[in-house]
Amino acid sequence: MPPCPQQSQQTSVRSSPDPDTIMATLLIFFVFMNLDVLLRMGHCTETRDQILSITPKTQEHVDILRNISTQYETALWQPVSPQYIKEETQVHLFVPANSSETVKDLLQRHAVTHEVLLANANELIEMQTRNDSTDPRSGSTFYERYHSLEDIYYWINRTAHDNPNRVKIILVGSSYEKRPLYALKLSFNNRTNKKAMWIDCGIHAREWVSPAFCLWFVHYSLSFYNINQDITHILDNMDVYVLPVLNPDGYKYTWTSNRMWRKNRSISKTTSCIGVDLNRNFDANWCTEGASHDPCTEIYCGTFPESEPESQAVANFLRSHKDTVQLYLTIHSYSQMLLFPYSCTLEEAENHRDLLEMAQEAAQKIRRYYRNIYRYGAGAKTIYFAPGGSDDWAYNLGIKYSFTFELQDRGRYGFLLPPSHISGACNEALLAVKTIALKVIQKTQAPTSPSPTF
Ligand code: 0X9
Ligand code: ZN
């Protein structure tokens, strides 16, 4: 909770012979001087959305938290679903202003202590949606800000138009609400038998730094080709498909109605609950432990694998390009992790050692150059069981280098990462992408141009 404004000091006034007049004058003067403070005091607990961090110490605490996050108007940030709440593990909970008092009362009544991670989420949300191009206070560039879906569509067209020899727009499908799913194909030469990599962003609507990364990556590729040795080598040897917003309906919804929305916006025939978790909708041990058949949960797997137009579009595209695509990357936030298959089983991927080495090297570079810690490992062992994910599905399709990146941060701002952190988050993720892509080229392709020294 933000500190309620303190009452200002009493102001001294000149004495008057009439005590009643003194009192009345004092009262009027006091109210007038503190009007702003008094007004704000009345609202300081009700008008601000907050993020609480709570570490349950007992099973009773766990049960209370599960109850709060399912029965009250809140949004669980971490873990993704109440079933993963466990003792001694931090829970991040978004509490809208109108449930704040009830939730805090409940916690207090059961002696569950909490810490306020963000006292005023509304201010952060406002900061992220401000149109900074017209804001004189902002010195940031286009790529250091978040953009509405319309702006991203405009940017896609503009980028292709301005780079006709290197960038093509590919329509890979359309969303449930019939928005186009555009990917950009970056192709810097016409070598025969050229391989490719795929990057998708924004599968989860509220993870805004993810689409920001896709834009960052494309911009970097176009600006630093022939300047940076690593990106030059990658683009000389691979085409890159970039899908900036895999879940446009959800992304749009986070800009207009609910900043904490995760799923797509498909309507269920059986309930009024909306949306499927697109990262539970792929055909990889679909809807087993770690996903849910309940449309009202955040990890709802849909009615059958690829029931959703968004996941089906990506799956169709990859199926028809599986002989060229060697590397699959999907960008999420938050928690700073480099994950690889499997998340849908505890079994090790056949090339587990390779994947581990690549993730380790990428994480080490981030640590060395950016002093930031990324954990890495197979999904199921590193975070939780999560079947139906795009990374596991792409891996089973035959794309043997498949990774999920969870970008910044580790919970300080969570999904509300301020725009000023976009460049740091994207630069370190870019370093990881370059490290992994170079390794894939090294492992799979005969060199055509001198490869950079690692
Ligand atoms: O649960 C997820 O879908 C991802 N984490 S997030 O907090 N961004 O939602 C992790 C995905 C890991 N990979 C698979 N589950 N296949
Ligand atoms: Zn995600």
Of the listed ligands, the closest to the CA of 414 is 1
Distance in Å, CA 379 to ligand 1 centroid = 8
Cα separation, 301 vs 281, whole angstroms:
5
Ligand 1 binding pocket mutation candidate from 289, 332, 417 (most atoms within 8 A of CB): 332
Q: State residue 25's pLDDT score.
A: 54
Residues 6+ apart with CB under 8 A from 189: 236
* Closest ligand 1 atom to 392 CA: 16
Q: Which of 376, 333, 337, 369 is nearest to 354 (CA)?
A: 376
* Closest ligand 1 atom to 390 CA: 16
Ligand 1 binding pocket mutation candidate from 264, 383, 384, 390 (most atoms within 8 A of CB): 383
Q: State residue 330's pLDDT score.
A: 99
Residue owning the nearest CA to atom 3 of ligand 1: 279
Cα separation, 430 vs 422, whole angstroms:
12
Of the listed ligands, the closest to the CA of 394 is 1
Cα separation, 292 vs 419, whole angstroms:
33
Of the listed ligands, the closest to the CA of 339 is 1
Residue keyed to tokens 């599968």: 203
Contact 206, 260 (CB under 8 A): yes
CA distances from 194 to 98, 223, 236, 444 (A): 55, 22, 9, 12
Contact 251, 259 (CB under 8 A): no
* Closest ligand 1 atom to 341 CA: 16
Contact 1, 119 (CB under 8 A): yes
Residues 6+ apart with CB under 8 A from 262: 80, 204, 205, 206, 250, 275, 277, 298
How do strand 195-201 and strand 325-333 relate by DSSP bridges?
A: parallel
Ligand 1 binding pocket mutation candidate from 209, 279, 292 (most atoms within 8 A of CB): 279
Residues with C-beta less than 6 Å from any ligand 1 atom: 80, 204, 207, 279, 332, 339, 343, 379, 386, 389, 391-392, 404, 406
Q: State residue 130's pLDDT score.
A: 80
* Closest ligand 1 atom to 277 CA: 3
Cα separation, 84 vs 33, whole angstroms:
50
Q: State residue 19's pLDDT score.
A: 56
Contact 367, 374 (CB under 8 A): yes
Distance in Å, CA 34 to ligand 2 centroid = 45
Ligand 1 binding pocket mutation candidate from 76, 91, 94, 204 (most atoms within 8 A of CB): 204
Which residues are the active-site residues? Answer: 406
Q: What is the largest CA-CA distance in the chain?
A: 99
Residue keyed to tokens 């590729």: 221
Distance in Å, CA 52 to ligand 2 centroid = 20
Q: Which of 276, 334, 326 is nearest to 301 (CA)?
A: 276
Contact 405, 425 (CB under 8 A): no
Residue owning the nearest CA to atom 12 of ligand 1: 379
Cα separation, 418 vs 212, whole angstroms:
12
**Element housing 283 (H / E):** none
Residue owning the nearest CA to atom 1 of ligand 1: 386
Cα separation, 230 vs 233, whole angstroms:
5
Distance in Å, CA 9 to ligand 2 centroid = 49
Cα separation, 263 vs 382, whole angstroms:
23
Residue 392: both structure tokens together = 């596991």
Contact 453, 364 (CB under 8 A): no
**Element housing 118 (H / E):** strand 115-118
* Closest ligand 1 atom to 78 CA: 7
Q: State residue 39's pLDDT score.
A: 43
Cα separation, 154 vs 157, whole angstroms:
5
Q: State residue 129's pLDDT score.
A: 86
CA distances from 437 to 32, 212, 231, 246, 283 (A): 64, 20, 9, 21, 25
Distance in Å, CA 4 to ligand 1 centroid = 38
Q: State residue 445's pLDDT score.
A: 84
Please list the ranges in the chain whose pLDDT falls under 50: 1-17, 31-32, 35-45, 134, 136
Residue owning the nearest CA to atom 14 of ligand 1: 389
Of the listed ligands, the closest to the CA of 280 is 1
With left for phi above 0 and alpha for psi between -120 and 50, is residue 251 left, alpha or beta?
alpha
